Structure 1
Amino acid sequence: MAIITKESEQKRENERLENLVKTQKLEKEKSLHRERERIAFDMHDELGAGISAIKLQSEILKKQLPQDLNSEEIDNLIKISEHMNRSMREMLWSINPDNDNLKNFEEYCIRYGESYFDCTDMTFQYHSHLEDPESKLHAEVRYNLLLFLKEAFNNCVKHSQAKQVNLTINADSQFINIVIQDNGIGLLSDNKDGYGLKSMRKRIEKLRGEIDFQSDENGTKITATVFTNF
């Protein structure tokens, strides 16, 4: 009888400790969620307003310059502010906890690709299959995959001479697989060890994922696979 009672008490104590750990983990997640929201709002209100003000003042100053003066430096300042604004929006998107799922990531990548290639002569097509669109995708994974995608698109425009670029996203609750493929001239020897490819490889390896480059005269295919939760 005493042995049974002791075992029951031990079982209750183990359950109490398990519940305590779960409660502490939940509170930590809630606290992190609130902090990420606060940082996102602060960045939007403070940095966003400041960058917009720089761009606006630069454009006003350019209009006030005499026509015969060189406005190249002001043009560069406007371009820098636009670049900073885009980068900030991407960071805000990655920080915002409301975007921590596969569906939002997929939609963002598609919108980005359509907008990016709309300014080029290349046709952009996409395909995707998400087993569970609401499945969580860690913020650091989202951010690094977005930068990987940007670099891949940039390489297509700068080096591929392609007419078409395809984006494929497949994911389940554990893995996400991204494929960027073009029908261009392939990677030239002086580009195979370039900064862009090194940057992409570094981003994926940082997430403990795998990346593969295939290239020939018919085009280039870049495949990356990472865990959805880092």
Structure 2
Amino acid sequence: MEVLPIEIKFSIIIAILLMVVIVVFLIFIIVLYYRRQMIFTKEERLKEMEHRTQLLQQEIDYRKKMQNEHDRVSHDLHDDLGSGITALKLQTQFIKQKTTDLNISQNIEELLQTCDELNVSMRQILWNLKVGDDELENVVQRTIQYTKSFFAKTNIEVHISKSQIGHDRISANTRRSLFLCLKEALNNVYRHSKCKNVEVKYSQLENILLIDVIDDGVGLINAEAKGNGLKNMEARMVALDGSFSILPSEKGLHLQMLVDLEEEYLK
């Protein structure tokens, strides 16, 4: 076997070494390129996250500003309208003390009652517009007060019952929707039921809140022909992932509103 000259062997070794060096260099370049790409990508992601954080902070600041403005307007309305109604009531009481005419005194007494009703209505509106969460017990008490006030000058007897109502937090959206549904239910009772008694029941089973409105009137003549009021109530409860049902009743109408407080609060 012919032996290669030393010069050729040396050249082959040098060539192999050069190829190894070139391969290592290329690997180094590729690794460096991908490393820089990774750093660039991370920097871009970081910039994007910083941008999103800034936008989120701006949104939070805007919402805080709007909430502060909302609170200011609510307080101004409460103070200005409240003081105005109080001044009107004082003036009316002063006039009542000066008159001796029984008919005028009776009209003045009705005006005084109207002032009280306006004051209650104003507080109810401001509460309904309140931003932020509330306690369930407080919401129930507010709706009970509204129910009693709503039927105060009617011939309908009101019966209120509540059981196992806790101190769960309830969102502003849920509070408002429940209140509007209850108002519509009571309005339907007054306008259409021709009843003598109405019962409003509040109950809670763990996270489930149930509100039942039951009257002893004429009931729903055509169960399939729901009016706009009932349809609106159903739509509001569905929007809360709750339910609105017309339950069987021996006499009158039985409406039930159901909402999962925890499920809606986490939305």
Tell me the TM-score normalized by structure 1.
Answer: 0.71
**Alignment correspondent of 1:127:** 163
The alpha-carbon deviation at position 180 of structure 1 amounts to 1.9
Task: Write the letter of the residue equivalent to 1:205.
Answer: A
Match of 1:31 in 2: 65
- Give the counterpart letter for 2:81 in structure 1: L
| 2:184–2:233 Cα contact (<8 Å) kept | no
The answer for the alignment partner of 2:200 in structure 1 is: 165
Query: Quick check: 1:110 aligned with 2:146?
Result: no
Structure-1 separation of matches of 2:114 and 2:228: 24
Hey, what does 2:235 align to over in structure 1? 205
Counterpart in the other structure of 1:74: 108
1:91 is matched by which residue type in structure 2? Answer: I
- How far, CA to CA, are the matches of 1:49 and 1:164 in structure 2? 35
One-letter identity of the residue aligned with 1:51:
I
Of 179, 183, 186, 1:146 maps to 179
What is the aligned partner in structure 1 of residue 99 from structure 2? 65
**More deviation, 74-83/163-172:** 163-172
1:46 Cα deviation from its structure 2 partner: 0.3
Q: Secondary structure at the match of 1:167?
A: strand
Among 77, 81, 102, the residue aligned to 1:47 = 81
CA distance in 2, matches of 1:28, 1:170: 38
Residue type of the partner of 2:163? H
Deviation at 1:50, TM superposition (A): 0.7
Matched residue, 1:217: 250
Going from structure 1 to structure 2, the CA distance change for 1:123 and 1:41 (only over 3 Å counts) comes to same
Alignment of 1:78-93 (within 5 A): 78-93=112-127
Secondary structure of 1:69's counterpart equals helix
Q: Helix, strand or coil for the counterpart of 2:197?
A: coil
Match of 2:24 in 1: none
SS of the aligned residue for 2:169 comes to: coil
**Unaligned regions of 5+ residues in structure 2, if any?**
1-34
Q: Which residue identity does 1:202 align to in structure 2?
A: N
Q: Is the 8 A contact 1:170 1:177 kept in 2?
A: yes
1:34–1:68 CA distance, 2 compared to 1 (3 A): closer
1:203: Cα distance to partner?
5.8
Deviation (angstroms), 1:106: 3.6
Report sequence identity in percent.
20
TM-score (norm 2): 0.63
The question of 1:21 aligning with 2:51 is answered no
Give yes or no for contact 1:182–1:221 (8 Å, CA) kept in 2: yes
2: distance between equivalents of 1:204 and 1:102?
23
> For this pair of structures, how many residues does the alignment match?
218
Q: 1:181 to 1:203 in 2, by over 3 A?
A: closer
**Which structure's residues are more often helix, by fraction?**
2
Larger Rg over CA atoms: 2
Quote the offset at 1:22 in angstroms.
2.0
User: Residue 25 of structure 1: CA displacement?
Assistant: 2.0
CA deviation string 1:19-59 (max 9, x = no partner) = 11221122122112211210121011101111122223223
Q: 1:68 to 1:34 in 2, by over 3 A?
A: closer
CA contact under 8 A between 1:160 and 1:182: conserved in structure 2? no
